[in-house]
């Protein structure tokens, strides 16, 4: 929209409104000290994270990036709407920045909000090459605050990105230290009965799947603005102030559940776009997502910003305090969730499954208070898992078949963005409100609502045992680009057939997440898709060129969950071909 | 000053389209990783038998390749202290490719050069993960003497905790014909069962362990062993480490 306005302004011969801001970034080898370990890494202007870039909506920016590494680098401006050759994806947008070379990015800033930048080369981003972007809006913001902080999270690992990828390929559970043990078996047997526990193990064992398969890479230290839990990044405030926190998840692999015990958070922006304010106690931030929240702090005391990894294997911690050095209690990590059969839906063909013979009698609904539904008491012994064929499961027919999850009642929350009965369904630690995608509504719609011109199905696929990740069963190297036509409105259907959550990121164009709110559907740049769910998003195809589309988990993208998107046509094509003809005429 | 007019930028983008097309192949290299490698030693141990036999045993594996095709070098060696000699010295060079979700097929050659006569074998095999997490490896060998044999290995890991792991192994060798020169009789030759308790000390790179191994020879193979003054059944105490780089 804004871009169109600028175009219109230019067409009318109005004076250029943009001011030009010039920025210099160097890409350097740096030392990263997490408090737990010190590691060689990659940073910008000598530090990791790099400097926070502040742009103003409407300005034209010039960013000179000098590569001081011995390898090729690149910077991708995550979430920014810009000409494709400024997008910074080597091999798609441009060739990359060679060692010693300075590459100049130039693009108009046509949006406002919280974004970030990172390397799109190899595993430089997990190794530390990331930073924050704040864009001041041209107009007034629909919310008030007295001060603001960037809260940029990452999952810094003692191993280099290359090493992690190699280890995952050698043994996909290399970093998983939350697997079920013999001890767990005994504990569970006591609680749920020996036979039930045995059946549960047998069922998962038969499928060669793990209930603990939630986080591929554990063993990291969670950082906030480059500081580990012990180093305790602190943001100061004066009692009575409203503080805007710009949360950015720059992790390679880690989803975080964020809370600030003692404070309600008002979510005002998601992925840089204003949303109708929602008050929450806790929210989950997918990899590469951003959320802006405002906290109104009345008391003169310290508050802990606690960001627990989704699999509860690690955390990042910071503090909001009236004075430097004040700390608040740091909560304990909660118990690690386990996947359930519901999260495995993509792996099952329920055609063969006789729901009638499932023994629901053993399921203790009364005990299901923590939101994590436990199927282990279900008699799956009579389910024929051996002949399960994957991918054709239908949740609706499942509930008709007598497995009615909605009836599990007892205060168990339902959320369309998680499979019914999913082990991943989050709950707030204080029993309060946990943000769901369903709560997000655009503050003001960016696009007029219209019917999509077509639907493209993207099945998110993989083989965990081999650590292979793909889309529609095809890895990037074997896939043809997805071709879109300029001017289309495409509806994407994401069907997650794996047992992992994938944050899907489309470059260059907005992802309009379908939460069923019509023109109020929120506009995002990352859409997180939980296991065994189907999520829709729509895209106004308004950016010609070649773009990347991929899972933002670094090692999933590198293993093949990646596509090139080609947008054909567009107003420039005539101009360009006219240009070419003119040149041809000259010759 | 440069006004970054989006139209101008896009026109310049289109003039870049030529190179962008040339880049198509490079894109694959830039955005996904296709080749990996790994080196590990599943067994690196010392064995003491109840009959005072002392053996150093290595079973190692190095591989390089893609999801579709891997090249492996597997080395197995048993050094017998009393004879100051390699009782087993085996190198396998294999190509391996997936044939189903959990199974790989492999083919290659095996070269045996222990003390005594050498043998070269053609190998085809199957390796993968069976239901209930049993790791299986089985091979058919045909030697340069024309003798065929099959081996079968299964391993199961039991997690006491996420760091203390008990692994149970079972190996057996079955020959379709006799190769007296190297002490192989027709039928089931031998079985080896092991139980090892390990602790992941450094990641999964260095996991020291202790354990017990039971070896038994059967039929003609046992007779050959007796004839050459060896035992047919042994219990070993083992100490060693699992290594991975
Ligand atoms: Cu993924």
Q: Is the dihedral of CA B139, B144, B149, B153 positive or negative?
A: negative
Q: Flag whether pLDDT at B19 surpasses 90.
A: no
A-chain CB neighbours of B42 within 8 Å are: none
Question: Which chain A residues in 554-583 lie under 8 Å from chain B, judged by CB atoms?
Answer: 557-560, 562, 564, 570, 572-573, 575-576, 579
**Tokens read off for A39:** 């590691």
Asked if B14 and A573 come within 8 Å (Cβ–Cβ), the reply is: yes
Strands, sheet with A130-136, edge to edge from the N-terminal-most edge strand: A53-56, A130-136, A113-118, A76-78
Q: What is the pLDDT of residues A140-149, one digit of tens each?
A: 999 999 999 9
Cα dihedral value B142, B148, B152, B153, nearest 10: -50
Chain B: residue whose CA lies nearest to A3:
B6
Query: For residue A412, what pLDDT band results from cuts at 50, 70 and 90?
Result: low
Residue A389 pLDDT greater than 60, yes or no:
no
Please answer yes or no on whether B4 and A206 come within 8 Å at the CB atom: no
Choice among A87-91, A92-96, A302-306, B48-52 with the minimum mean pLDDT: B48-52
Res A573: pLDDT = 55
| Predicted local distance difference test score (pLDDT) of residue B33 | 86
Which of A:413-472 have CB within 8 Å of B? 463, 465-466, 468
Q: Which residues of chain B does A215 touch, with a Cβ-Cβ cutoff of 8 Å?
A: none
A178 and chain B in contact, CB less than 8 A: yes
pLDDT, position A428: 96
Share of residues in chain A with pLDDT > 70 (%) = 82
Q: A320-324: which pairs have CB atoms within 8 A and are 24 or more residues apart?
A: A320/A234, A320/A235, A320/A236, A320/A237, A320/A243, A320/A260, A320/A263, A320/A295, A321/A234, A321/A235, A321/A236, A321/A237, A322/A236, A322/A237, A322/A238, A322/A239, A323/A236, A324/A234, A324/A236
Mean pLDDT, residues A196-207 taken together? 92
pTM passes above 0.90? no
CB A254 within 8 A of CB A222: yes
Q: In chain A, positions 19-48, which contact chain B (CB-CB < 8 Å)?
A: 20
Taking only the tens place, the pLDDT of each residue in B73-112 is: 999 999 999 889 999 999 999 999 999 999 999 999 999 9
Residue B126, pLDDT > 90, answer yes
**Residue bearing tokens 């490896």:** B137
A329/B contact by beta carbon, under 8 A: no
Q: Read off the pLDDT band of A19 (50, 70, 90).
A: low
Range scoring the smallest mean pLDDT among A86-100, A398-412, A423-437, A536-550? A398-412
Residues on chain A touching B31 (C-beta within 8 angstroms): 89-92, 120, 476, 548, 550, 557-558, 562
Which among A62, A63, A98, A106 is the top mutation candidate for probing chain B, defined by the most B β-carbons within 10 Å of its own β-carbon?
Answer: A106
Contact B166, B178 (CB under 8 A): no
pLDDT at B220 over 80: yes
First-residue to last-residue Cα distance in chain B: 53
């Amino acid at each position: 929209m804004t871009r169109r306005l600028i175009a219109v302004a230019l067409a009318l011969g109005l004076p250029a409104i943009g001011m030009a801001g010039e920025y210099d970034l160097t890409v350097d080898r740096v030392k990263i000290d997490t408090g737990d370990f010190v590691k060689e890494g990659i940073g910008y202007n000598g530090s990791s994270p790099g400097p926070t870039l502040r742009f103003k909506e409407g300005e034209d920016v010039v960013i000179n990036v000098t590569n001081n590494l011995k390898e090729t680098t690149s910077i991708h401006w995550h979430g920014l709407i810009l000409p494709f050759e400024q997008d910074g994806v080597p091999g798609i947008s441009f060739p990359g920045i060679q060692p010693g070379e300075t590459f100049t990015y130039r693009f108009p800033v046509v949006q406002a909000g919280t974004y970030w930048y990172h390397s799109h080369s190899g595993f430089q981003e997990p190794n530390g090459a990331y930073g924050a972007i704040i864009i001041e809006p041209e107009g007034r913001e629909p919310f008030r605050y007295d001060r603001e902080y960037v809260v940029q999270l990452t999952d810094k690992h003692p191993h280099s990105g290359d090493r992690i990828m190699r280890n995952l390929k050698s043994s996909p559970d290399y970093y998983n230290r939350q697997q079920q043990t013999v001890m767990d078996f005994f504990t569970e047997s006591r609680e749920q009965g020996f036979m039930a526990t045995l059946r549960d193990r047998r069922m998962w064992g038969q499928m060669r799947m793990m209930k603990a398969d939630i986080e591929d890479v554990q063993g990291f230290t969670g950082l906030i603005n480059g500081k580990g839990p012990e180093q305790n990044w602190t943001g100061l405030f004066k009692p009575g102030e409203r503080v805007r926190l710009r949360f950015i998840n720059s992790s390679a692999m880690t989803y975080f559940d964020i809370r600030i015990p003692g404070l309600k958070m008002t979510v005002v922006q998601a992925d840089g776009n204003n949303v109708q304010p929602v008050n929450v106690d806790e929210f989950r931030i997918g990899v590469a997502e951003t959320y802006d929240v405002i906290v109104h702090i009345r008391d003169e005391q310290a508050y802990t910003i606690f960001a627990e990894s989704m699999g509860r294997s690690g955390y990042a911690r910071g503090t909001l305090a009236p004075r430097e050095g004040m700390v608040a209690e740091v909560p304990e990590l909660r118990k690690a969730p386990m996947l359930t059969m519901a999260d495995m839906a993509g792996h099952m063909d329920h055609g063969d499954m006789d729901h009638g013979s499932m023994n629901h009698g053993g399921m203790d609904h009364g005990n299901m208070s923590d939101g994590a539904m436990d199927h282990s008491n279900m008699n799956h012994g009579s389910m024929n898992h051996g002949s399960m064929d994957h991918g054709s499961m239908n949740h609706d027919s499942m509930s008709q078949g007598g497995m009615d999850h909605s009836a599990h009642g007892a205060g168990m929350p339902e959320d369309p963005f998680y499979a019914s009965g999913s082990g991943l369904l989050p709950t707030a630690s204080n029993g309060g409100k946990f943000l769901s995608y369903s709560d997000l509504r655009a503050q003001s719609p960016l696009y007029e609502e219209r019917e999509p011109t077509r639907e493209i199905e993207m099945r998110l696929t993989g083989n965990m045992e081999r650590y292979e990740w793909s889309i529609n069963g095809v890895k990037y190297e074997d896939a043809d680009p997805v071709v879109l036509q300029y001017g289309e409105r495409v509806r994407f259907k994401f069907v997650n057939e794996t047992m992992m959550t994938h944050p899907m990121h489309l470059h260059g164009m907005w992802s309009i997440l379908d939460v069923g709110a019509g023109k109020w559907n929120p506009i995002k740049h990352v859409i997180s898709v939980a296991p065994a769910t189907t999520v829709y998003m729509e895209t106004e195809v308004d950016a010609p060129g070649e773009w990347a589309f991929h899972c933002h988990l670094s090692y999933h993208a590198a293993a093949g969950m990646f596509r090139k998107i080609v947008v054909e046509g567009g107003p420039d094509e005539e101009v360009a071909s006219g240009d070419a003809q003119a040149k041809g005429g000259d010759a | 000053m440069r006004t970054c007019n989006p139209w101008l930028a896009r026109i310049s983008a289109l003039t870049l389209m030529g190179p962008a097309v040339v880049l198509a192949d490079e894109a694959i290299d830039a955005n996904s990783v296709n080749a990996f490698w790994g080196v590990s030693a599943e067994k690196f141990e010392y064995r003491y038998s109840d009959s005072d036999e002392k053996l150093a045993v290595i079973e190692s594996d190095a591989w390089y390749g893609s999801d579709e095709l891997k090249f492996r070098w597997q080395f197995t060696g048993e050094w017998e202290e009393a004879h100051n000699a390699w009782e087993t010295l085996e190198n396998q060079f294999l190509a391996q490719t997936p044939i189903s979700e959990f199974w790989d097929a492999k083919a290659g050659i095996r070269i045996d050069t222990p003390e005594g006569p050498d043998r070269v074998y053609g190998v085809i095999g199957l390796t993968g993960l069976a239901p209930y997490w049993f790791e299986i490896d089985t091979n058919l060998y045909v030697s340069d003497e024309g003798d065929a044999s099959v081996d079968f290995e299964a391993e199961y890991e039991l997690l006491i905790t996420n760091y203390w792991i008990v692994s149970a192994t079972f190996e057996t060798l079955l020959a379709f014909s006799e190769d007296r020169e190297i002490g192989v009789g027709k039928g089931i030759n031998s079985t080896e069962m092991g139980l090892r308790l390990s602790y992941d000390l450094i990641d999964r790179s260095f996991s020291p362990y202790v354990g017990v191994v039971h070896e038994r020879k059967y039929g003609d193979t046992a007779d050959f062993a007796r004839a050459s003054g060896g035992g047919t059944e042994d219990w070993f105490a083992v100490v060693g480490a699992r290594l991975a780089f």
